[in-house]
Homo-oligomer: A and B are copies of this chain.
């Protein structure tokens, strides 16, 4: 019912449509987009935080929401998230602030 559920439903529904399409390269890209966040020499939770920082400096709200939800599942703490936020803020500048605000509002919604 909340924004998180809306986000996840839309994401899931349209991803299905995309993956049922005929274009192979698009499907390969989606596979790759999962693969790089798998546990490796770097732990999956660190990779989610890297994806989060990248998404913040590139200012992609849906990507930020996704990586915060993934990071939460992987056991990331609020304090770790805030350190990631501070790096994104300094690298990306004040234009990151509106996205930080929406990220913090999401943390309230999911109680992290």
**Number of this chain's copies in the complex:** 6
Q: Chain B contacts of A26 at CB under 8 A?
A: 82, 85-86, 89, 100
- Chain B residues, CB < 8 A from A82: 21-23, 26
Asked if A57 and B59 sit within 8 Å, CB to CB, the answer is no
Inter-chain contact B54/A92, CB cutoff 8 Å: yes
Give the Cβ gap from A64 to chain B, nearest Cβ, in Å.
10
- Which chain A residues numbered 38 to 83 have a C-beta less than 8 Å away from chain B? 40-42, 46-47, 49-51, 53-55, 57-63, 77, 79-80, 82-83
For residue A112, CB closer than 8 A to chain B, the reply is no
Alpha-carbon separation in the docked complex, A82 to B63 (Å):
22
Q: Does chain B have a CB within 8 A of A4?
A: no
Is A84 a contact partner of B54 (Cβ separation < 8 A)? no
Q: Report Cα–Cα, A49/B62, bound state, in Å.
A: 23
Known contacts A46-B46, A98-B63; is-contact A41 B77 (Cβ 8 Å): yes
Chain B residues lying within 8 Å of A10, measured Cβ to Cβ, are 101, 105
